[in-house]
Each structure stands twice: as structure tokens, then as C-alpha cells.
Structure 1
Amino acid sequence: MPPPFRISRIHHVAYRCRDAKETVQWYQRVLGMTYTTAFAEDHVPSTGAPDPYMHVFLDCGGGNVLAFFELPNQPEMGRDPHTPAWVQHIAFEVPDMDALLAAKTHIEAEGIEVLGPTHHGIFKSIYFFDPNGHRIELACNIGTPAQYAELARVAPLMLEEWSQTRKAPRHADWLHKEEGI
């Protein structure tokens, strides 16, 4: 039975940062986001725990909001040592390949190492890290309606095969070939 409500969109996604001001300035300068809101408290509203924080919000466009917490009284932030750095990332969409290539040029001019463009069949993307160590992806869609339909068709088959074998199903091998399907 479905739940008695419907989610309309993601309100915001929050990550931790080392320095709120540096993080806001970086996202404004490198990705053109708009800094919109800040909350600061000495106690966590949901738990009442004493833990001072600065919570900053950046408008990513299209109703999407990225937020960060600076937590000065907590141990230094780190990564999950059991999860590779490429797994956890924040992916943003750009309109086309021209924008993706312009972004790469701009980000590299900021002195940031950029990987890609990488071909993913239905999109191409570039990767880099923010000053907090969060991996960022910029992607542009290049897929055709037929490709998206085929991916939707094989998704349940792939998930079922994966759940039984824990080996990569081959239903969508065409994704990583430049010519696609």
C-alpha cells in the first residue's frame, strides 16, 4: 500500500563543511550558486543537544538547494574509510556539451583538477572536489528517447540479476560505448 502522502521535490540536501564562509564563497565563485539563507544555533532544534552550528543554503537553480553545516565543536570531518571517494558525490546538470566544456575550462582556471568529460551513454560528465573533499559532478544529458526507454525496460531485470548474483548485469553494456544503441 502506498504512503498517504506524496513528496513534491527535494527541499534541500545537506552536507558538512569545514568552513562555512569558504564553502559559500567557493560555490558562488566556482559554480555560480546564490547564497540565500543562514541559520545558526547553539542547540540542535530537533534533539536539543548542545552543538553550535552554522547552516548555510545555496540556490543551485531550478528550485534545488544545497546546504552545509559547519560544526566547530565536533571532531574534524573525514570520509567513510570503507567507501571509495568516487562513490559519494553531488551531481549537477548543465544544459549541453558546450556548457560542460565551458565549466571545465572555468573550473580548471580556478586551479581545480577536473576529470573528464566521461561518457556514460546517456550523459557526459566532469568530476572535481570542493574544498571540503566532497566530489562534485557536472553532467549534461545526451541520451535519446529510445535509450531512456531501453534503460527503463531493463532496470528491473538488472536489479533482480544483481540481487541474486552481485555481478554486473550486461543488459546496458551499450552505455559505455560512444555509439550507444
Structure 2
Amino acid sequence: MTNQAPHPIKLGGVHHAAYRCKDAKETVEWYGKVLGMDYTTAFAEDHVPSTGDYDPYMHVFLDAGNGNILAFFELPNQKDMGRDENTPQWVQHLAFEVASEEELLAAKDHVESLGIDVLGPTHHGIFKSIYFFDPNGHRVELATDIGTDEQYAELKRVAPVMLEEWSETKTAPKHADWLHEIARKENAAKSA
């Protein structure tokens, strides 16, 4: 085994994740009302700093907790925003963590009280989630971890094997089927 030099990049986390929005004010108000996010910062320019192109924009930043920032761009001179029609709606989404199942259920009640359709909770074996859409058509997920340290360790252990098998076969590897069994058992117990 050879000595490897340390990687030249040392990440300190996600500075921000940015998406497009239809209306910056509506988006800021929605994320504040629905998810309790604080609106922290805005930049508005007529020219894009990195390219110099004329393309007026409003760039807004929202605090998602624990130093995580969610940002949006409103681009009034661009074509109406759409979505990748070749990708199912459930794939591209923003997922936020809540601390417990009780908080997840309280969040579901709150979001539904605002007239927003909510899917879930969905049991994923080691976490549970609810799903809904923001006014821009972005899918939002709230999730809470429910797994054990042993379960997370096992998932980390089989991750390389699963990726290799997927790469070769493009069929779902069965190394973590026990996750589905956990969900099935809990759902059966609730139905009884």
C-alpha cells in the first residue's frame, strides 16, 4: 500500500445550495411561514459577477439551521422556470432534518393546516419522511432519523459493495433489504 498525500481540498460543509424561484418575495415568505426559516441576506445585481453578463437577478438566502443556508434566484429576464421533464418529480428535492417522529408529525399537521398537500410519513427503515411542494414546484422533504448506530454502520459497510453491484447490473442490490422489512413490520403492527 502506498502513502497517499492528503486531498488538497478540505471542505468545511455546504456554504449554500441555490435554486431558482418564480418570485423571491413569495418564496421568502413561504419558507418563513411553512418551515420557520429566517431570511438573512439578499444580493441584487444587473450583471452576473462571475460572467459579466447582463441578467438582472435577486438572490435571497434563508437559514435552514445548523449553519446550512438555502438560497434562491429570481431571474425575471429568463424564460419561465420549468423542471427537468426527463426526471421524475420525486427525484430532485430539498430534504431537511427534524429532531424526532413527534416533530415530524407536528410538522405534517402544520403544513396541512396551511392547505398544502402532504405525502407521508414514509418509512425508509432508518428514517421517516413527509413530502410536499413549495410554490416554485420544488419538492420538499422533512425527515427524522430513527435508525440505530448498528444499522448505520451496516449501511456504511455494504455501501461500496452495493455501488459496485449497481454499476455492473443496474438492478437494486439486496444487501439492505432488511430496511424494507423494518418498515413492513412497523406498518403491519400499526394495522393490527
TM-score between both structures, scaled by the size of structure 1: 0.97
Q: Is 1:72 the counterpart of 2:76 in the alignment? A: yes
Which of 147, 163, 167 is the matching residue for 1:143? 147
Aligned to 1:101: 105
Equivalence map 1:128-139=2 (5 Å): 128-139=132-143
Matched, 1:171 2:175: yes
For 2:153, what is the secondary structure of its paired residue? helix
User: Equivalent residue for 1:39?
Assistant: 43
- SS for the counterpart of 2:88 is coil
Say yes or no: does 1:18 pair with 2:18.
Answer: no
Structure 1, unpaired ranges of 5+: none
- Deviation beyond 3 Å, 4+ runs, structure 1: none
Give a deviation string over 1:47-88, Cα, whole Å, max 9, x none: 000000000000011000000000000000000010000000
How high is the sequence identity, in percent, across the aligned residues?
Answer: 72
Secondary structure at the aligned position of 2:102 is classed as helix
Match of 2:124 among 120, 129, 132: 120
1:89 aligns with 2:93: yes
Give the structure with higher Rg (CA): 2
Correspondences of 1:149-164 after superposition (within 5 Å): 149-164=153-168
RMSD: 1.1
Structure 2: gaps (5+ residues): 187-192
Tell whether 2:10 aligns with 1:6. yes
Note the alpha carbon deviations across 1:106-129, whole angstroms, 9 max, x for none: 000000000000000110000000
Structure 1: distance between partners of 2:139 and 2:113: 18
User: What is the total number of aligned residue pairs between the two structures?
Assistant: 180
Q: 1:84 to 1:2 in 2, by over 3 A?
A: farther
Tell me the secondary structure at the aligned position of residue 117 of structure 1.
Answer: strand
Alignment of 1:47-66 (within 5 A): 47-66=51-70
* Secondary structure of the structure 2 residue equivalent to 1:61: coil
Cα distance in 1 for partners of 2:8, 2:168 equals 32
User: What CA distance in whole angstroms lies between the structure 2 residues aligned with 1:17 and 1:69?
Assistant: 6
SS in 2 for 1:77: coil
Higher helix content, 1 or 2? 2
How far 1:5 sits from its partner (Å)?
A: 2.3
- Residue identity matched to 2:11: I
Cα offset, 1:2, TM superposition: 5.0
Residue identity opposite 2:40 in structure 1: T
- Deviation of 1:16 after TM superposition, in Å, equals 0.1
Output the TM-score relative to the length of structure 2.
0.92
